[in-house]
Amino acid sequence: MRLIQRPTPSPLHYLYAALGSLATVTAIVLLFTGDVERAAAAFTSVDINYLARVFLVVAVISLSGVLSYRSGIWNIGQEGQAVVGALAAVASRNALEAVALAALFSTLWILAPAVLRATAEVNEAVTTFLLSLVAIYTARYFIDGPLRDPAKKGFVVTVEAPYLDLLAAAVMYALLLAGIVALYKTRAGLTLRLLASGEEVVRYAGKSPRVYIAATLLLSGAVAGVGGAVEIMTREAGRYMTLQQVSTGFGLFGVSAAWLGGLHPLGAAAASLYIAWLYQVATNLKVMGLPALVANALVGSAMAWGLAGYVMYKYRVVWR
Amino acid sequence: MAVDIGVVQEALKGAAPILLATLGAVIGQRAGVLNLGLEGVVYLSAAVATAAGPPWGCLLAVAVGTLYNLLYYLLVNDLALNQILMGFAFTMMAYGVGSQIARPAVGKPIEKPLVQGVEIYLAAVLVAAALHLLLRTRLGVAIKASGDDPASLDLMGVDVYRIRKIAGALEGALASSAGAYLVLIYYGSWSDQLVMGWGTLAVVTAMISLWNPLLAAGASIIPSLFISLAYTLQRLTEASPHLLNTVPYLASIAVLVLAQLAVRKTRLRALAPRWLARPYIREERT
């Protein structure tokens, strides 16, 4: 099995990747249900509000991935940054303050990896990933301590986060999306994308790669934090964190959507909708009494197909 | 003083699985692959070892972990899928599958093993010495070359893809034995959170040890010491156990930064595999 570079890459290969993902998902669902009728029920039963909520969360976090990976910077700590964003939301009095604090604290959370990568070339994939684990324990400290709700005697849960309705969340996402699309039209946005071709290229363009590396990570962290806040604030009920349910897995979903969408802000939006639907399918399967691991398996396979789409776009696979 | 000795003994016991996984990471990173899926391999093999129980659980865990790691190598090496993100996805999938496999064993003790003292660490140091020797053999040199200059290795007629897969098999076997050790010897029980971070710490320790198996024997004590210290402090102080649990990760990052700053302006910097985290695509050879 070898890869040959395509002389004329076509974006159609991302569509093939999406179809491949769909085929894999169908196979997994059939394997778990063992019957076509139940599989069809898992695929077709959709709660629009639930789908919209998951879509918005995944779509916001996917923008964090787009920002980072299009610049060739490997922030894979979106899960931890989202946890920090959700914590900030829980500690806030109203929705506006929650979003602002989520962005601020998740930026501060990623500050150390950003500075270390920019100044000492410390691998940001390793530091952001390790900090995700730190975020989970830190969140547990706040759940069990400063943010614990004293009214819920006998239960270790935080106070409730302010409510954000889906329309407001959609407007916020649209603004973020428009902001990032607009950013890529500016010279700064172009330099951010140039970074993926190498630090030398940015230096030749007369800019400081260090500044752009740090800016990429900080922006990416801020957006992931907002995603975490949106996740907890758009819940109809139970807008609190518990010791067992700190990490929601939406960090992985956002990263998967970014790749499945070809690292394009609009492509990531389409991929987020697909991943939200996968999440709905996984939830339907859980309701049918099937294992909880299905969501991870479905989204993990979507991520693999997203990466495969990127490779298929650039290369042809030959057997030799 | 008694407490100090206890912490050191615990640290040596805990360093054994980190050392085993670190040695795996050293081999893989030397071959040019940054495998964040190592966390998943440790987790999955620990779950398999738990589900099957001793003594066969150990062998089954190594077999499953090695195959899982080889699948990762097939995707990132032969098909050039992004190493970092696939590693991340492999970890997430292993968490999902592993927690499901070991679910019936939650809260149940596992049969006591025969060996459980610091001699395990000494055995792991012997493995480190063996790997150090391996890296000086023809195969070892090929593994190092595939991480430093795969195009030249390819021009010499050595199949880079095959060499990396051999490295992947070794890495998988070492990491999965670390996973089996964690549940069967170190903890003697299973919970979903048990393995969280051990594999990732090994990825960092491999970097701290400058990809040298003998240095890895020393470096693996660092995270383990902080893990043991966190447990001891939980018993002795009023500090939040949740915050104490963050110490090993934060300490590992701090040591990684110090190590990187220390070698930055020295010749040791050249030890870093130049192709780390970059796929080798033969048709793009220049």
Of the candidates A141, A294, A304, the beta carbon closest to that of B240 is on: A141
The predicted pLDDT at position B160 comes to: 94
Interface ipTM above 0.90: no
The predicted pLDDT at position B278 comes to: 87
The predicted pLDDT at position B4 comes to: 61
HEC string of chain A equals CEEEECCCCCCHHHHHHHHHHHHHHHHHHHHHHCCHHHHHHHHHCCCHHHHHHHHHHHHHHHHHHHHHHCCCCCCCCHHHHHHHHHHHHHCCCCHHHHHHHHHHHHHHHHHHHHHHHHHHCCCHHHHHHHHHHHHHHHHHHHHHCCCECCCCCCCCEECCCCCCCHHHHHHHHHHHHHHHHHHCCCHHHHHHHHHHHCHHHHHHCCCCHHHHHHHHHHHHHHHHHHHHHHHHHCCCCCCCCECCCCCCCHHHHHHHHHHHCCCCHHHHHHHHHHHHHHHHHHHHHHHCCCCCCHHHHHHHHHHHHHHHHHHHHHEEEECC
The predicted pLDDT at position A98 comes to: 97
List, in sequence order, the alpha helices (H) in chain B: 2-30, 38-52, 56-73, 83-101, 119-134, 138-148, 150-155, 160-181, 198-208, 213-219, 221-236, 241-244, 247-264
Say whether pLDDT at B3 is over 60.
Answer: no
The predicted pLDDT at position A12 comes to: 85
Q: Stretch A223-252: mean pLDDT, rounded? A: 92
Say whether pLDDT at B1 is over 50.
Answer: no
Q: Sort A37 into a burial class: Cβ within 10 Å, 0-12 / 13-18 / 19+.
A: exposed
CB proximity under 8 Å: A 71-100 to B: 74, 76
CB proximity under 8 Å: A 136-175 to B: 136-138, 140-141, 144-145
Single-letter amino acid, residue A29:
V
Residue A5 Cα distances to A17, A70, A317, angstroms:
17, 20, 9
The predicted pLDDT at position A205 comes to: 87
Say whether pLDDT at A136 is over 50.
Answer: yes
Q: What is the pLDDT of residues A280-320, one digit of tens each?
A: 988 888 888 877 667 777 777 887 888 888 888 888 888 77
Pairwise pLDDT comparison (B248 vs A104), residue with the higher score = A104
Q: Would you call A308 an interface residue with chain B, using a CB distance cutoff of 8 Å? A: yes
Q: What is the pLDDT of residues B5-60, one digit of tens each?
A: 667 777 888 889 999 999 999 999 999 999 989 999 999 999 999 999 888 889 99
The predicted pLDDT at position A291 comes to: 74
Greatest mean pLDDT among A163-172, B193-202, B217-226 lies in A163-172
Contacts of B97 in chain A (CB under 8 A): 293, 297
Q: Looking at CA atoms only, how far is residue A138 from chain B in angstroms? A: 6
Q: How many CB pairs under 8 A join A and B?
A: 129
> B88 and A129: CB-CB below 8 Å?
yes
Q: What are the residue ranges spanned by the domains of chain A?
A: 1-44+290-319, 48-262
The predicted pLDDT at position B170 comes to: 96
Q: What is the pLDDT of residues A254-274, one digit of tens each?
A: 998 998 888 999 999 999 999
Q: Looking at CA atoms only, how far is residue A165 from chain B in angstroms? A: 30
Which of B178, B200, B210 shows the shortest CA–CA distance to B252?
A: B200
CA B211/CA B144 separation, integer angstroms: 10
Per-chain mean pLDDT for chain A: 91
pTM of the model: 0.87
Which of A282, A307, A251 shows the shortest CA–CA distance to A63?
A: A251
> B100 and A291: CB-CB below 8 Å?
yes
Q: What is the pLDDT of residues B115-154, one digit of tens each?
A: 566 788 888 889 999 989 888 999 999 999 999 999 999 9
CB proximity under 8 Å: A 56-75 to B: 74
The predicted pLDDT at position B116 comes to: 62
* Tokens matching residue A226: 């907002």
CA B160/CA B168 separation, integer angstroms: 12
Say whether pLDDT at B286 is over 70.
Answer: no
